[in-house]
Amino acid sequence: MSTAETIKQQILDRYASRTTKSCVLDQQAKTSLPGGDTRWATYHLPYPVYMLRGKGCTLTDVDGNRYLDFQNNYTSLVHGHAHPAITAAIQEQAAKSVVYGAPAEGQFQLADLIASRLPGVDQLRYTNSGTEATMMAIRAARAFTGRQVILKMDGGYHGSHDMVEVNITPDLSGERMPIAKVEADGVPDSVLQSTAVARFNDLESVEEILKAKSGQIAAIIIEPVMNTAGMVAADESFLRGLRELANRYDVLLIFDEVVTMRLHENGYQGKVNVLPDLTALGKLIGGGLPIGAFGGRKDIMSLYDPARPNGFHHSGTFNGNPLTMAAGIASVNALTPQAIAHINALGGKLREGMEEAFAEAGIHGRTTGVGSLAYVHWTADEVTSAADVIRWKQKAAELPRLLHMELLNNGIFSANRGMFNLSTPMSENEIDSALEAFRAALFTLKPYTAEKAPHLMM
């Protein structure tokens, strides 16, 4: 067995010895759940860790191992686990009822809070996920404009409905314009007739499509920071340019702020002073409970007025349910400007420390992200697009997976794709602990890197 294979096996053996109960539960789960899981993002080989409880910024698994949580349910737990105000709000509401089947004041109270923060939101409606939020925002754009085509960015992720399951994995052809393709089996090819794809951070690419499909495009949809595509931020000039192009070609601009609302008191739109026509939201606005929301200009959102003649239908059994509204109000209220500044500063320290650790280990590595978001890249090159992320992953052997596993062995819970995000209970102590574990993992993986990915050695 080579040195690299020995290191890999040692990491897997340590993981297996720490997580014996998780292994048993994973086998049990496979009886009724395909592959033993019900969420693609939480699965990883050889099996995921089964968690038992969370408190603040820590998690405890079924084997009693404790972790610092840098995954935070993929950014939805901006206040960590069992936040006192959120927990109290949930308990108080649950004692009354979890859902009424009728309106309750929490619906407009949370909406008022969100609208007071996001300058591009006059009114909003609730869904139960970010996927539904982007789906309904797109439907609103089509109804308002009378057009069918949506323009998204290569590598952009907006949930798992057919309309946006296009080029989540970016095009690597090298062609001037991305070659559009459906993301998975089950998504009809006909979607490509109504979803166009442009290059991220490339205004010429966007305008070329707007010209070619003049009078057909209803809206441009974009994540200001690309989530699954490596936490790559859009240039502010690109976002301003999109606003100008949307105005010039009379199309709507949709910001998917499901993840990025956490980065500024006024969302990313307020951070860069670019107002979209519609905004999709989720994650933190539910305080850890299922939620999505879409909102925007009053003249667009009025299409959803149920008293409006010929208004179109939008409903959902749990839309705006009082339990989620209570948790969401507590969560948004607790996300003060001071709290945002706190986790953003810690995020900067984390990214800087990770790059220093790569240098100390003599390995080429980069980090991307904004504020309280971070993503680790195994490359010496600048990462500016989703395609850059795929290209380095193709040459990195199993390094991302093994780093994730070794961080778990060292008590750090992060997203298996290399994403980290922070929660308000964290302090510099937690960042120092994470960086210590990260540094140790890199030195463990150094001989593996030298053998399997020598181009990454300095």
Judge if 429 and 390 occupy the same domain: yes
Q: Which domain holds residue 28?
A: 3-78+336-456
Judge if 236 and 101 occupy the same domain: yes
| Per-residue model confidence (pLDDT) at position 162 | 84
Judge if 52 and 130 occupy the same domain: no
pLDDT exceeds cutoff 90 at 211: yes
| Per-residue model confidence (pLDDT) at position 308 | 86
Judge if 313 and 428 occupy the same domain: no
Judge if 380 and 406 occupy the same domain: yes
Judge if 89 and 73 occupy the same domain: no
- Which pTM does this prediction carry? 0.96
Q: Which pLDDT tens digit goes with each residue over 172-184?
A: 887 888 888 998 8
Among 15, 47, 126, 157, the active-site one is: 157
pLDDT exceeds cutoff 90 at 371: yes
Is the pLDDT higher at 273 or at 163? 273
26 in active site: no
Mean pLDDT estimate for the chain: 96
| Among candidate residues 334, 368, 395, the one where a domain is terminated | 334
Judge if 280 and 347 occupy the same domain: no
CA 201 to chain centre: 19
Which tokens is 381 given?
A: 């090159």
pLDDT exceeds cutoff 80 at 144: yes
274 contacts: CB under 8 Å, gap ≥ 6 = 236, 239, 240, 242, 243
| Per-residue model confidence (pLDDT) at position 174 | 78
| Per-residue model confidence (pLDDT) at position 434 | 99
Judge if 88 and 216 occupy the same domain: yes
Judge if 91 and 117 occupy the same domain: yes
Domain of residue 359, CATH code: 3.90.1150.10
Q: Which pLDDT tens digit goes with each residue over 275-334?
A: 999 999 999 999 999 999 999 999 999 999 988 887 778 888 999 999 999 999 999 999
448 in active site: no
Among 171, 256, 277, 388, the active-site one is: 256
Among 268, 283, 375, 448, the active-site one is: 283
Where does residue 81 fall: left (phi above 0), alpha (psi -120 to 50 degrees), or beta otherwise? Answer: beta
Length of the chain: 458
Q: How many domains does the chain have?
A: 2
pLDDT exceeds cutoff 90 at 262: yes
256 in active site: yes
| Per-residue model confidence (pLDDT) at position 1 | 83
Judge if 233 and 361 occupy the same domain: no
**pLDDT tier at 23, thresholds 50, 70, 90:** very high
| Per-residue model confidence (pLDDT) at position 74 | 96
- Find, among 325, 319, 267, 269, the residue nearest to 108 by Cα: 325
| Per-residue model confidence (pLDDT) at position 52 | 98
pLDDT exceeds cutoff 90 at 224: yes
